[in-house]
Structure formats: structure tokens, C-alpha cells
Amino acid sequence: MEFLRALGVDFRLVIIQAIGFLILLYLLKRFLFGKILALLQARKEEIQSTYAHAEKDRTEATRLKRDYEKRLAEAEEEAERKLNQAVQEAKKIGAEIIEKTRQEAEVIKLKAQETIELERKKAVAEIRDQVVNLSMLTSQRLIQQSLKQETAERLVDELINEIEGLR
């Protein structure tokens, strides 16, 4: 101890400083360290909560992305299905229009043929009537010119045969 006194160390002062240090340590622990540790613990919990919330948000975002992609794929499929349906409907309507037009053309063609046949029959009947009238006039004139009865009959028979050949 002498050695410590020679160095200028006073035990009383060391003990008083040690007691002061312990009192200071007790006060710091009692009032300051508790609050600091509580603040650190609160900060730690806040950071953990933030990370947990961020992880939850990331998981939710991933789920929403999958849902969005699924809905997008379904919408594309629906659009493709509706487009195909519209194309099929258009083809069906086009085929119906073509068939209806073909039938109308066929009806017009048949009516035209009937009209042509009717006109041809009318023309043949008119020609026949005119030939008969001309034949009658010719026969009348021939008879008036005093032809022989046999010649007149032969001419009339030939004319009738020709008229029958026109039918």
C-alpha cells in the first residue's frame, strides 16, 4: 500500500469515487438504460413489423399479379371465343345470303323461261293464224281464178301439211 501512496493514490478518494460510480451506475440503470432499452426494443419491433408488412405486401402483390394474369388469359380466351363465334356467324349469314340469292336467281330464271315459252307459243300461234289467213286468201284467189278443183285441193292439202309441220 505504501507503494500506492507513493504514487499518490488515496484510498478514501478511490472508495468515494467507487461509491459515486456505483450510485451513478444505479441511477443510469434505473432511469436511462431502461428507457434506452425500451426505445431500442420498440425500434426493433417496429423494424420487424415493417419487414413483416413488406413481406405481406410482396405476397399480396404476387397473388394479385397471378390473379391479374389469370383474368387477362381468361379475357383473351373469351375474346378469341367471341371472335371465332362472330366469324362462324358471319359465314353462316353469308351462306344463307348466297343460298337465298341463288334461289331467287333460279326463280327469276324459271319465270324468264316460262315467259319466253309463252311468248314463243304466242308468236307461233300468231304465225299459224297469219299462215292460215294467207292460205285462205291464196286459196280464195286461186279458186276465183278458176283453177281446177283438183289443183286447189292439192294446194290446200299441202298448205295444211306444212302448217301441221310447224307445230
Three-state SS for 82-146 is HHHHHHHHHHHHHHHHHHHHHHHHHHHHHHHHHHHHHHHHHHHHHHHHHHHHHHHHHHHHHHHCC
Return the pLDDT at 143. Answer: 65
Alpha carbon 53 to its chain's center: 42
Return the pLDDT at 52. Answer: 95
Return the pLDDT at 118. Answer: 93
Return the pLDDT at 31. Answer: 84
pTM over 0.75: no
Q: Where are the domains of the chain?
A: 2-166
Return the pLDDT at 21. Answer: 96
In tens digits, the chain (167 residues) has pLDDT values of 677 667 777 778 889 999 999 999 999 888 888 888 889 999 999 999 999 999 999 999 999 999 999 999 999 999 999 999 999 999 999 999 999 999 999 999 999 999 999 998 888 888 878 877 777 777 677 666 655 667 767 777 887 787 777 65
